[in-house]
Amino acid sequence: MTGDPIPTGPVVKDSVIEVEDLRKSYGGCEAVRGVSFDVAEGEVLAVLGPNGAGKTTVVEILEGYRSRDSGRAQVLGVDPARGGPELRQRVGIVLQECSIERYLTVAEVVRMHSEYYRRPRPIDEVIGLVGLSEKAGSRVKSLSGGQQRRLDLALGLVGDPELLFLDEPTTGFDPSARRQAWEVVRNLCRLGLTVVLTTHYMDEAQALADRVVVMAAGRVVAEGPPESIGGRADAAARIRFRLPAGSTLSDLPLAADADAGGAALVETIEATKALHLLTGWALDRGLELEGLSVTRPSLEDVYLSLTTAPGAQAEAP
Amino acid sequence: MTAAVPLALARRVKWEQRLFWRNPAAAVFTFAFPLLFLVIFTAIYSDSAVHLPGGTVRFAQYYVPAIVSFGLISACYTNLAFTICVRREDGSLKRTRGTPLSPATYLAGMVGNVVVISLILTVLTIGLGLAFYGLRFPDRYLGLVVTIVTAAFCFSSLGMAVATVVPNQEAAPAIINFILFPLLFISGTFGQISDHSVLARIAAVFPIRPLIQEMVTVFDPFARGTGMVATHLGMLVLWGVAGVVVSLRRFRWEPRRT
């Protein structure tokens, strides 16, 4: 497991983002086909989906980079298409693949960006938040990829935003850099910031988000907390073990199949009862159920089944 | 509010200056080319004379103003076109667009930066001319300032406009220089070209020749008055306006990704 979800902030207050039946086409191709969701204050929402699902388009509409064709969008109570500099004072945007002035130092870049805002956060504090204090005097070009990404985050934070957009914050990171970045994002969430992050990593959504919106082919196909999304909490559990020598599937006290690896597989919605039957059966016979495991479908399984379900396919134009 | 705009602009120019001087390659390139040409060509042609409408002058009296013009073009057009392409494709422009900084202030800061560079380069070139090449300046300060300002407007705006037709960073040096260098040659940057030649007639339609002719007139010891020629300056303004129109219609803040 990759860590607990962030503790939810203060009890749901107002909506920071409201999206209703959002639509956007590019040259006859409908990229966003009626998307609706809300984001509450202090919440961390992950927009999850494969490439081309429309998640970047939705987020860029909310960031004010794109116009929408129809539907309603409100960000901090303002239409993002008309928010202008006033809205951008209150929003931080961290884009993917965006290079920073290489010849300035970390502190200089942060100071330069702080001058764009009316009430910036203190520069040292921002650099500390993203864990770059020792690098404050170093040129940007001397930073590692992960450090540059954290500097990106600092630039998104320096205006002391109420809402932060993170576009695929750890794409291309090695595992330890990802952990560090997650730690930084978790710290931010403790500041009470509302965060919208896009990602195509299931574990990232699980590690960071209070709630997940799964998009496929321009639509929302599932929405909910990561632990229960797509009916995951109610889904059948899978009990696996190796058949004891001399036993066959038909000897077992309940219906079982052989899985692809040759182990016995029991799918059940009553895991406790099934385990009791199985272990009782084994103990009675003095057998050991080697490799015994109980699993629920991972978020990844749910995600794959959601995004490849027939309803998620793009319709022929 | 009225004081906030000049302050924001001054801060942007300060950062642009720091960025420019911190990147040694760009700074050296902008300054080295015009100054190198000045030294080499005056060494080759120091003895030759140039015929102006009022009489004959030493080569440097024509060549220093031509190099001042080249410096202005290099600082404004080349620099700006290149910087905008790079920043657009690497996402810096898009990032800036997502902050409360007004796009106009940001672009004005870039222009302010190249104007500062132009002034430094102009002072250096004229200074070298006065000190080493026997250049004479007939005290036409107004003419010189007006010409510099008009040229900075024209070539900054053309730099922005050309940046909009460059598809990506790799193509930038080729396109930007391919437009510039043939025009530099036929416009008389590296030696006078007679008004009656075919090349001069072609070049007269573009902005570089009018700038060189204007700058030479400002330094022309035989000319009368302020040295400002309406047709030359008018041509620069016209091209500048064309550049603004193209930029307004085509300017992109986001990289081209497919």
d(CA A225, CA A227): 6
pLDDT digits 0-9 by tens, B170-222: 999 999 999 999 999 999 898 888 888 999 999 999 999 999 999 999 999 99
Q: Count of alpha carbons within 13 Å of A100, Cβ hemisphere only?
A: 30
Q: What is the pLDDT of residue B258?
A: 45
d(CA B164, CA B162): 5
The DSSP output letter for A7 is P
Q: In chain A, which residues touch B (CB < 8 A)? A: 63-65, 85-86, 88-89, 91, 93, 95, 97-104, 108, 112-113, 115-118, 155, 159
Flag whether pLDDT at A187 surpasses 90: no
Assess contact for A205 and A267: CB atoms under 8 A. Answer: no
d(CA A36, CA B92): 31
Q: Which of A65, A112, A118 sits opposite B15 (nearest CB)?
A: A112
Residues of B with Cβ-Cβ distance to A97 under 8 angstroms:
91
The DSSP output letter for B74 is I
| A294 min Cα distance to partner chain B (Å) | 44
Please indicate whether, in this complex, the C-beta atoms of A89 and B100 are within 8 angstroms of each other.
Answer: yes
Please indicate whether, in this complex, the C-beta atoms of A65 and B98 are within 8 angstroms of each other.
Answer: yes
Structure tokens, A174: 């090695």
Interchain contact B94–A (C-beta under 8 A)? yes
Residues of B with Cβ-Cβ distance to A85 under 8 angstroms:
100-102
pLDDT digits 0-9 by tens, A20-59: 999 999 888 889 999 999 999 989 999 998 888 899 899 9
| A64 min Cα distance to partner chain B (Å) | 8
pLDDT digits 0-9 by tens, A206-259: 889 999 999 988 999 889 888 777 666 667 788 888 888 888 888 888 888 888
In residues, how long is chain A? 317
Secondary structure E strands in chain B: 49-52, 55-58
d(CA B73, CA B118): 8
pLDDT digits 0-9 by tens, B30-51: 898 899 999 999 888 888 889 8
